[in-house]
Structure 1
Amino acid sequence: MTGVEVSVVLPAYNEEATIEHTVETTLDTLGAFLPAGSFEVIVAEDGCDDRTPEIADRLAAADDRVRHFHSDERLGRGGALERAFEASHGDTLVYFDTDLATDMAHLEELVESVRTEGYDVVTGSRRMPGEKQEREPERGVASTGYNTLVKLFLRSDLYDHQCGFKAFDRAALFDLLDEVEDDHWFWDTEVLVRAQRAGYRVKEFPVRWTPKGDTKVDLVRDVLGMGSQILRVWWEFSVRPRATRRAGLVAGTLLVVVALALMTVYLDPAAILDAIAGADPALVGVSAAVYLVSWPLRGLRYRDILAELGYDGDLGFLTGAIFISQTGNLVFPARLGDGVRAYVVKARRGVAYPSAFASLAVERVFDLLAITALAGAVLVGLVATGGTDGLAAAIAADIGTVTIGGETIAPGEAARTALRVAAGVGIVAVAAVAVIVASARRDTDLVGRAVRWVSDDSYAAYVTGVIERFVGDVQTVAGTRAAFARVGLSSLAVWVVDVAVAVVVVAAFGFALTPYLVAVLFFAVSVGNLAKVIPLSPGGIGLYEGAFTLIVVAFTAVPGLTAAVAIAVAVVDHAVKNVVTVAGGVASTLLFNVSLTEAVEGAGEADDSVSSGR
């Protein structure tokens, strides 16, 4: 077909009851104001499982103004639209919802706003000031909340971002699509926001709109899906441009300084330094030797992970690569050291960037599984064995009873109840670990089933895919029982050794190591390591100490183990680990002739390569 100026795309999913009427109405309406042969109607059929494909084929065969594009699998509304627009012939591109909820009397204004008036993007609006539409309260509230968030976070000047009635200049749209990432319901909003940011001429005009079809608010699409996409675009526009390496270093350093300054408000720095000075140097040295044991365990685990991804590696080099990357994490914020490792194994062993980052993702998943299992199991064990009774008794003896508003409260019993509640949370955490492991060990789509249980919307497929990619990282290693057992057990061993370092440091401060105290240390170190997952400061400095101190002080009543001493223990514990890490990192860079500066620059190359799919 030649001479086509306007291409109208109708995104269709299971529309057998309406698609024929919609196509006929569209052709009649376009024919009323456009010259014959100057328009086409494309049915962008998106993986339908009803008779829509057959009907669309019949309509296309009967009228050369109609075209049909079929997809065997769901592309999402945005994906289906992009595919059809790419195959269209017109310079003015239009789409609207096939339920014809928007009055077709507005179609001429929509088309001509682009075709003759020169606008780049035009959208109908159900929410412009002074215009009222009949809407179900549930959908109206959701729409108001959504559009308010878009205007607030993404600084849009429009009132209605999701009205399915839009037109685009072809060149402008395809320029925008280079940056649009969403393929589903957020596609409309992202195109409109990016058009405004890019300075294109955008027009919004009021339309008469009658709601049709299923109007329920969908949990996955409207809350998880759309909300996460708003945050993604906000991060890209407002945070990422400012999140430079220098800004990260400054922010991380300031965070540590502020944390240390705040500590001086409620802790005596002199007391902390005195406590550190009183530690047994020989036992501190032993703690360093204990920590050194964890590094070949890390190397063995990483070798097993890479083997499952099809790469061989020698233990010495892989251990050195981990040393180098962890040293990078201590020096730079936001876990840039992970990119350093990807660069090192790519440069020296030919491991492709996608595989290198996949191996890191698997390692992180097993780290989180191991830490969560340790923390949750210890807390549950404390309650199950009555270990919390001693804590409750100590609190009661130290505080006695408290009278508030004429009511007498026993702090010991309150503490016991609170810990039982926390144990319940621990059980949930352990159960969550079990579910992830079960999902990874089976071919059954447990994640997909769970998401579809709360939502049958097409956006559920998108959210399911995101979650399944996470579980898939584990599944890569869980493909064989032996590999899963090796990586799982080595992960537990790594973190048990990490706790053992803290145990030895506590002994260096002169405290008797009772089973209860050791159990609390397991919990404190595990929670401290979870706090370090947040990449706010290089090496989690300040975060680990704060979490460790809070747990130890809250869960123990050991004479002399005050807040000042607890933070001194955390400082020494963390310092020992960091000194060993840096020493190993420096030795590895010299042994394998790797420049840390070059590796950090290469990490940026690694991130770009993975982002672009290379």
Structure 2
Amino acid sequence: MDQAPVLYAFVSFLVFLISSLYAALIFWSPQSIITYSSEKKYRCRTSPNKPIPLPYIDDPATVDLSIIVPTYNETKRMPRMLESTIKHILSIPERKTEILIIDDGSADGTADLALEYAKENLEVEIRVITREKNSGKGGAVRHGMLHARGERLLMVDADGASRFEDLELLWAALDRLDEGNPNHVAIAVGSRAHLVKTEAVVKRSFLRNLLMYGFHTILRVLGVGHIRDTQCGFKLFTRTAVQQIFPCQHLTTWIFDVEVLLLAKMLRIPVEEVPIEWHEVAGSKLNVVTDSLQMLRDLLILRANHLLGRWKVSQNTVKIVPSELISRTSM
């Protein structure tokens, strides 16, 4: 029996399968992140109606700490977080700090409420940036990181789930990593891994815990299992680390934290995981089932694009990648 037709059919099917998978990868991969001209400006206490141009991450730092707060319809949860943040900032007056509220296309007046806090708290500089369209938490964090002035930059969730005073634990960890580091490239990430056996996690639903353990298993397979808690929204970066990582970020969805940590690993940036206090806050916009499926898809897209060389990162550069050049010149 002639095996040639069978072999030809098998090769044709294999080519079709590979081509289909590659086409699917291109289809599902996010487009270049666009930054509109209005998003390159901010409002503040002294200029509430006339937006002022923002600096860029390539510029020299002019404050000690920038606090990046991504928000989307957070008028109910943000006030408590801002109050605890401002209280802690005022307890360390020698540290020059700014707060950047990134309103990611909210429809509930989040930006206006943030501006009211800016007007009422004269001792703290609060800058309010409004994005034209909702791009996802990762897009809001990236935007804030790329337009902050801090020597160190902290991302923190608007719900106040993390105890803000634990910033000092991350600060001390960054001091340790930065000691003897001529490039000042380091990251300290808040971690809830020590809470896994506590009531805060045990009382969560079976489905939520099952998805959590499955997620961690996938992360180990993808190469970022060295961080036990990738998703905690409390991370502190040196400015140089931000310059290297965030221009190369592609994902804007919930899973962006994993991309940031994967980029740090590829760039050989030291990361220390720091246990912090955390409590669950009602009102989360995360849908356990649908967002978990989206996270899985995005994880596969992330790894595939890096393995195939479609997404690249250079270890010894802080230059802006072409997609960011497009973003900076858009509209």
TM bucket by the smaller chain?
Answer: 0.5 to 0.7
3-state SS in 2 of match to 1:83: helix
2:136 matches 1:76: yes
In the TM superposition, what is the alpha-carbon distance from 1:167 to its structure 2 partner? 0.9
Q: Structure 1 residue aligned with 2:101, among 43, 51, 73?
A: 43
Q: Tell me if the contact between 2:67 and 2:154 (Cα under 8 Å) persists in the aligned partners.
A: yes
Aligned positions of 1:433-472 closer than 5 A: none
Q: Tell me if the contact between 1:39 and 1:90 (Cα under 8 Å) persists in the aligned partners.
A: yes
In the alignment, what sits opposite 1:240? 308
Q: Tell me if the contact between 1:7 and 1:92 (Cα under 8 Å) persists in the aligned partners.
A: yes
Q: Output one character per residue of 1:175-199: Cα deviation in whole Å (capped at 9) or x when no partner.
A: 1123221012111111011112221
Specify the code of the residue in structure 2 equivalent to 1:68.
V
In the TM superposition, what is the alpha-carbon distance from 1:204 to its structure 2 partner? 0.5
In the alignment, what sits opposite 2:290? 220
In the alignment, what sits opposite 1:193? 262
Q: Structure 2 residue aligned with 1:102, among 162, 176, 196?
A: 162
2:124 matches 1:54: no
Q: Tell me if the contact between 1:8 and 1:93 (Cα under 8 Å) persists in the aligned partners.
A: yes
Cα distance in 1 for residues equivalent to 2:107 and 2:305? 37
Q: Tell me if the contact between 1:10 and 1:98 (Cα under 8 Å) persists in the aligned partners.
A: yes
Aligned positions of 1:102-121 closer than 5 A: 102-114=162-174, 117-118=177-178, 120-121=186-187
Q: Output one character per residue of 1:540-589: Cα deviation in whole Å (capped at 9) or x when no partner.
A: xxxxxxxxxxxxxxxxxxxxxxxxxxxxxxxxxxxxxxxxxxxxxxxxxx
2:192 matches 1:126: yes
Specify the code of the residue in structure 2 equivalent to 1:212.
V
Percentage of identical aligned residues: 23
TM-score (norm: length of structure 1): 0.37
Q: Tell me if the contact between 2:102 and 2:140 (Cα under 8 Å) persists in the aligned partners.
A: yes
Cα distance in 2 for residues equivalent to 1:117 and 1:131? 29
In the alignment, what sits opposite 1:407? none
5+ residue gaps, structure 1, are 242-608
In the alignment, what sits opposite 2:240? 171
* 1:158 to 1:37, Cα distance in 2 relative to 1, 3 A: closer
Q: Output one character per residue of 1:232-252: Cα deviation in whole Å (capped at 9) or x when no partner.
A: 222234x426xxxxxxxxxxx
Q: Structure 2 residue aligned with 1:17, among 76, 80, 94?
A: 76
Cα distance in 2 for residues equivalent to 1:198 and 1:220? 32
Q: Tell me if the contact between 1:13 and 1:47 (Cα under 8 Å) persists in the aligned partners.
A: yes
Q: Tell me if the contact between 2:100 and 2:129 (Cα under 8 Å) persists in the aligned partners.
A: yes
In the TM superposition, what is the alpha-carbon distance from 1:85 to its structure 2 partner? 1.8
In the TM superposition, what is the alpha-carbon distance from 1:134 to its structure 2 partner? 1.2
In the TM superposition, what is the alpha-carbon distance from 1:154 to its structure 2 partner? 2.6
In the alignment, what sits opposite 2:299? 230
3-state SS in 2 of match to 1:92: strand
Larger radius of gyration: 1
Count, aligned residues: 245
Specify the code of the residue in structure 2 equivalent to 1:122.
A
Specify the code of the residue in structure 2 equivalent to 1:73.
K
In the TM superposition, what is the alpha-carbon distance from 1:71 to its structure 2 partner? 1.8
Q: Tell me if the contact between 1:78 and 1:187 (Cα under 8 Å) persists in the aligned partners.
A: yes
Specify the code of the residue in structure 1 equivalent to 2:214.
G
Q: Output one character per residue of 1:167-220: Cα deviation in whole Å (capped at 9) or x when no partner.
A: 111111221123221012111111011112221110102122211124664333
Specify the code of the residue in structure 2 equivalent to 1:220.
T
Specify the code of the residue in structure 2 equivalent to 1:213.
A
Aligned positions of 1:171-570 closer than 5 A: 171-214=240-283, 217-223=287-293, 225-237=294-306, 239-240=307-308
Specify the code of the residue in structure 2 equivalent to 1:112.
A
In the alignment, what sits opposite 2:85? 26
Cα distance in 2 for residues equivalent to 1:83 and 1:101? 22
In the TM superposition, what is the alpha-carbon distance from 1:155 to its structure 2 partner? 4.1
Cα distance in 2 for residues equivalent to 1:176 and 1:133? 35
Q: Tell me if the contact between 2:216 and 2:225 (Cα under 8 Å) persists in the aligned partners.
A: no
* 1:82 to 1:133, Cα distance in 2 relative to 1, 3 A: farther
Q: Tell me if the contact between 1:30 and 1:108 (Cα under 8 Å) persists in the aligned partners.
A: no
Greater per-residue strand proportion: 2
Specify the code of the residue in structure 1 equivalent to 2:77.
T
3-state SS in 2 of match to 1:134: helix
Q: Structure 2 residue aligned with 1:139, among 208, 216, 223?
A: 208
Cα distance in 2 for residues equivalent to 1:122 and 1:187? 16
Q: Output one character per residue of 1:91-131: Cα deviation in whole Å (capped at 9) or x when no partner.
A: 10001111111223312112333356526111111124986
3-state SS in 2 of match to 1:6: strand
Cα distance in 2 for residues equivalent to 1:99 and 1:221? 19
In the TM superposition, what is the alpha-carbon distance from 1:146 to its structure 2 partner? 1.1
* 1:155 to 1:59, Cα distance in 2 relative to 1, 3 A: closer
TM-score (norm: length of structure 2): 0.66
Q: Output one character per residue of 1:316-363: Cα deviation in whole Å (capped at 9) or x when no partner.
A: xxxxxxxxxxxxxxxxxxxxxxxxxxxxxxxxxxxxxxxxxxxxxxxx
Q: Tell me if the contact between 1:44 and 1:80 (Cα under 8 Å) persists in the aligned partners.
A: yes
In the alignment, what sits opposite 1:306? none
In the TM superposition, what is the alpha-carbon distance from 1:222 to its structure 2 partner? 1.2
3-state SS in 1 of match to 2:308: helix
Cα distance in 2 for residues equivalent to 1:13 and 1:185? 13
Cα distance in 1 for residues equivalent to 2:298 and 2:267? 19
Cα distance in 1 for residues equivalent to 2:97 and 2:195? 33
* 1:104 to 1:613, Cα distance in 2 relative to 1, 3 A: closer
Q: Tell me if the contact between 1:154 and 1:234 (Cα under 8 Å) persists in the aligned partners.
A: no
Q: Tell me if the contact between 2:99 and 2:126 (Cα under 8 Å) persists in the aligned partners.
A: yes
Cα distance in 2 for residues equivalent to 1:46 and 1:129? 30
In the TM superposition, what is the alpha-carbon distance from 1:162 to its structure 2 partner? 0.6
Cα distance in 1 for residues equivalent to 2:103 and 2:90? 23
Q: Tell me if the contact between 2:224 and 2:261 (Cα under 8 Å) persists in the aligned partners.
A: no
2:220 matches 1:161: no
Q: Tell me if the contact between 2:155 and 2:235 (Cα under 8 Å) persists in the aligned partners.
A: yes
